Structure 1
Amino acid sequence: MSRLYGHSSATGANFVTNEEDPLQTFEDKLENTGLMSRAAIEQLHEKYDKQMFEFYKQVKAEPMPDPTTIYDYTYCGQKGRYF
């Protein structure tokens, strides 16, 4: 899958047209070959948009992590090596 956005917005190269968007291209192929209707594709979008929003709400409801644990599990076997 190709990158949809660049590493930096400063390059001005972050816009990807629908013709280059692999997800849009795949949706178009599904529709053009008769494997899925546009309505079915839109239903999938709605279903997964709702699911992602539920995940978002769940994560936002969780407590913030303890800032003192920021370097835990950053380097295997090196806890406390630098601090």
Structure 2
Amino acid sequence: MKTPHDHKITRCPKLGDEMTFAYCLQEAGDLPCARIIFCWQAAFDVASLLEENLTQEEQKRFADAQPKEKVVSLIEILEKAKRQT
């Protein structure tokens, strides 16, 4: 999904660094990061943007998703990087 906000940057509490909105939209594979609304709500109406762009099934899976702890996320990222090299 492409949006006018893709280039915007915020600090990611999950990864501990700055990330673009485009990254947050695909952080969970085919779904946005579970924390996307919390992280971006001050910048623009991210909830409406997601509602307009996600299918009903994607909206349900997104709503049911639970944010992972930072350590778990980092381990998964490292394992994924190892598999790709």
Question: Shared topology, TM-score over 0.5?
Answer: no
Q: Which has the higher contact order (CA 8 A, sep 6+)?
A: 2
For the aligned pair, the TM-score class normalised by the smaller chain equals: under 0.3
TM-score by length of 2: 0.26
Structure having the higher Rg: 1
Bigger fraction of residues in strand = 2
- Normalising by the residue count of structure 1, what TM-score does the alignment of the two structures yield? 0.27
